[in-house]
Amino acid sequence: MTIPDGLDRIDLRGVEARGHHGLFERERRDGQVFVADVSLGLDLGPAAREHDLTLSVDYGSLAQGVHDIIVGEPVDLIETVALRMVDLCLAAPSVRWVSVTVHKPQAPIAVTFHDVAVTIERSTQ
């Protein structure tokens, strides 16, 4: 899925925090770093013309909300973490499309790897 035609984009990259998500007891107990990337599709024209943040998205508040999800209630799957972030983004009235990627660079994988990530994209159109 790609951003629909006619929409502008806000990107928030690399929101990093320590969370306690995972299937294994040690993941829940010890926690690990998670990193989130968020892209929003919306029409930025009205906000730009009116100089009105309420017609856009406050990316400071968005970053805090994403952070709060990472450090919040533990869940088994990063898919759940990503979906919570998608729901947060789509709660903003101006957002028509969202893509969220949650990275779990310290996942308990037995082979050498650089990163594992889950991406969820949704559109209101």
Enzyme catalytic residues:
104
Are 9 and 22 in contact, with CB atoms under 8 Å apart? no
102 phi-psi bin (left φ>0, alpha ψ -120 to 50, beta other): beta
Alpha helix locations (H) across the chain? 25-30, 45-50, 59-71, 78-90
**How many whole angstroms separate alpha carbon 3 and alpha carbon 53?**
21
**How many whole angstroms separate alpha carbon 45 and alpha carbon 98?**
18
3-state secondary structure of 103: strand
